[in-house]
């Protein structure tokens, strides 16, 4: 049995690290987006009820969720292509950055409208 070349091991390590980092930042991004949107679209009664999941009388969830979602989403969009083979990274990067821009614009419109 022959051992794989050293660059193969480095490539696998880079893909695993990129995938893990993208998954971690993607989960954190999703949590921030849900926090911001829950705070934005909660009813007045729900946002003032301490027993409600949407309890956010001062809007800190809206502010912090939006501020943290943007850099986390960008980091996820930039690290996700590392989980793919080298020949596919450019196309995946193009798609993830486009998706990041569209989703961030939609988040900002939802948060700051009305």
Q: What is the pLDDT of residues 72-95, one digit of tens each?
A: 999 999 999 999 999 999 999 999
**What pLDDT, on a 0 to 100 scale, did the predictor assign at position 112?**
84
**What pLDDT, on a 0 to 100 scale, did the predictor assign at position 111?**
85
User: Tokens in use for 45?
Assistant: 């009664």
Extents of the domains making up the chain? 27-112
**What pLDDT, on a 0 to 100 scale, did the predictor assign at position 57?**
72
**80 touches 18 (CB < 8 A):** yes
Question: Smallest Cα–Cα separation from 106: which of 46, 76, 66?
Answer: 66
**Is this structure's pTM higher than 0.85?**
no
For the chain, give the number of residues: 114
What whole-number distance in Å separates Cα of residue 108 and Cα of residue 42?
16
């Amino acid at each position: 049995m022959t051992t794989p070349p050293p660059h193969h091991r480095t490539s696998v390590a880079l893909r695993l690290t990129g995938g893990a980092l993208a998954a971690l930042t993607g989960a954190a991004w999703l949590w921030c987006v849900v926090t911001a949107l829950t705070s934005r679209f909660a009813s007045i009664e729900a946002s003032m009820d301490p027993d409600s999941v949407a309890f956010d009388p001062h809007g800190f969830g809206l502010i912090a969720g939006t501020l943290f979602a943007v850099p986390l989403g960008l980091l996820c969009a930039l690290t996700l292509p590392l989980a793919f083979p080298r020949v596919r990274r450019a196309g995946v990067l193009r798609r993830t950055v486009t998706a990041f821009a569209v989703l961030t614009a939609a988040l900002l419109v939802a948060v700051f409208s009305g």
